[in-house]
Structure 1
Amino acid sequence: MEDHTQSLIDRASSLVDAARTAGADAADAVVARSSAKSVSVRLGKVEGTDASESDNFSLRVFVGNRVASISANRIDDSTALAERAVAMARVSPEDRFNTLAPEDRLARKLPDLDLFDETDVAADRLTRDALDMEDAARSVEGVSNSSGANASAGSGGMVLVTSHGFSGSYRRSGFSRSVSVIAGSGTEMERDYDYSSKLFFRDLRSPEEIGREAGERTVRRLGPRKVPTQTVTAVYDPRVARGVLGHLSSAINGASVARKTSFLRDMMDRQVANSTVTVVDEPLKIRGQASRPFDGEGVSAKTLKMVDEGMLRHWFLSTSIAAELGLETNGRGARNGTTVSASSTNLVLEPGDASPEDMMKSIGTGFYVTEVFGQGVNMVTGEYSRGASGFWIEDGEIAFPVSEVTIASNLRDMFLRMVPANDLDRDYATAAPTLMIEGMTLAGQ
């Protein structure tokens, strides 16, 4: 495998050299590596098996202030590909912001972040895990049908070579198990799921545990009631709290700020969230789901407090986005095929002091949100309106399931009111604990 990596580095280097020979002032080449296999089952039978493996090459060239990118699944002729890219660049519009990363920001030492597990999981093991998950879920009393189970194993990686001296690579493994089942019948059916996703195979939760949790989650949703329209305190389960953090991440992405499509675009160094809220982005976390020793441009990055006790301190920035804003990259460049954007890495909303149980006791009556759906989030204005289901809270305790309601507010107000609980699970690329948010409008019957 290491020999293959060196071969890819050599081929990326040949692309960069060919681009310079063809007339490019600067260039970089990326190889995105991926391999995956998965097995899906339903009702005790295998429904599908899939396997794939690929190395995708991308070349980006700069001619003055003009830039062009080209990609290919295989490289038979580096010279021809480079000449075509340079020809495209010469007729492209000028872009004074799009450049290679500053040379002094390039990563010179690449830390070992322990991202790759050599375990080769055979297809029959994936099949057995998927079947065991589904069996465990279907054995829960009240479960009536299955939407299926899936087990997968794979790996990905990146090779990056630039014309100003950077050369690096890394690999990341990934293993997952998931199952979704149905309880009830006819118009009274409910569906839920559970899953586990890890970098290392041995860290996955057992198929039996995942299946049992999926079944129990589903059965708990049976017999939902409607509640009247009112203003409530919402308590977001961590599964949906991670989505709320995702909205914050989008709002502080430098690309949205530069294009004036973020409602927080004028809020740098101002309060954007409750003082109990601190959001940290950690690219060099050992075994982190989104860790990377360098970003999509070869830049070394460090941990940043994006929001510090409610105060906004940073945007997510790549080189070009930073230049557009008159700033410098902070190593959040993300390569996506032939383009470079900005993104978070291991993003965490730090926990608070109270347990979810104590939070519910403190509010007495409220809505515990376990699922949201619909596209009712406007990142330009912050308007938020989502279909939701979950459980009603009475006397500080979960009372009964609720469905067919809408919860609404404005993200600006939600961030200022949200309070984190102490139940953070950090093992997600976007990790958040239970969140309590006052003043939500619930539209019911």
Structure 2
Amino acid sequence: MKDAFEIIGGKPLKGEITPQGAKNEALQILSAVLLTSEKVTISNIPDIKDVNKLIELLGDMGVKVERQKPDTYTFEAKNIDQNFFQSAAFKAKGGSLRGSIMIVGPLLARFGKASIPKPGGDKIGRRRLDTHFLGFEKLGAKFDYNPEDGFFNVDASNLQGTYILLDEASVTGTANVVMAAVLAKGTTTIYNAACEPYLQQLCKMLNRMGAKISGIGSNLLTVEGVTELHGTEHRMLPDMIEIGSFIGLAAMTGSEITIKDVQYKELGMIPDVFRRLGIKLELRGDDIFIPAQDHYEIDTFIDGSIMTIADAPWPGFTPDLLSIVLVVAIQAKGSVLIHQKMFESRLFFVDKLLDMGAQIILCDPHRATVIGLDKQVQLRGISMTSPDIRAGVSLLIAALSAQGKSTIYNIEQIERGYQHIDKRLKALGADIKRI
């Protein structure tokens, strides 16, 4: 039997909660330790399955891993075992972890070759890896896919800087190409680069290690190749998706919550999108304070037409928070159209919300209209299964605001992205237990 969460909803919560380190930053930063033989110290690492699996994978490759504190590790990639990449163990581990694609750029840069099993991960539509591969090919890497053992073998013994126009502004794609380019000969220009804070963090870290990257924070990165990189220390940003989730949680349950140490200037338009839903929040130092609200009203556009909230590449609104916004809108006053442009099956958890009593029209796989209940009707608790990380937390928020008991199955999907979420919610007064 796998674990599930049992939740008795409808109670206001109260207190402080600290967001974990950013999951999406962790997968890139941890892969970057492979670029040097020197020691790299990383802090604020979230204790979640996807990240722990990658740390374990680094250890299996021969990286010397030491845990200094619960959230701080040192890594020393002095003796990498090249044979490991052809092994069944690598295929099993690398294939089950989408983040494993991120080790390819650094391995190509430092050793001139890599092999990767076809990766797995979230079921939120086709996440193509073409951007990564096309970028590596432009730098001079040669790919050979072996359908018999399911491995891509890559030869990159002579990487040369070049002009690359990415076919999509993929965060992991940009990160991977940047890591491959830092040790290539000559200058690489990457246009239509992703510019998320996670990627800025990676570039700043690489520069501290001795890389020469300019244009950080824009969609045009210039990377001057260097011959070697050195050790460094790096602290990861707090997870903006968690921060958004907690803002939504506070509003929906009518709770007074303080979210600690949020690195507010790195949150982009996230706070504003929640304000558009009518949620009051104030910045106190670097904490976000959300007062208890009985009621929040969705803005309309200036001409009075219905508000649309859509995702877009950074600095647009992150797709990872659209599921949260959708759930929070259920108890708002007013209506909103949620338009999920970037992935095609992220809205399929709406049926569970309908069962709970939400008023939502699913227009197509990309769009849903939410007609707010204005807290006149409480959602009712049901049994449900979490399809992906973000929908899982959205359902968790719905359950905490609902009347009666909810059971959420398949919670390992939630735990891939949120550390010790049940304990942290309990500390706010939530009635949640693992069964």
Superposition TM-score, scaled by structure 2 size: 0.22
Structure of higher RCO (CA pairs closer than 8 Å, 6+ residues apart): 2
User: Which has more helix, going by share of residues?
Assistant: 2
User: Which has more strand, going by share of residues?
Assistant: 1
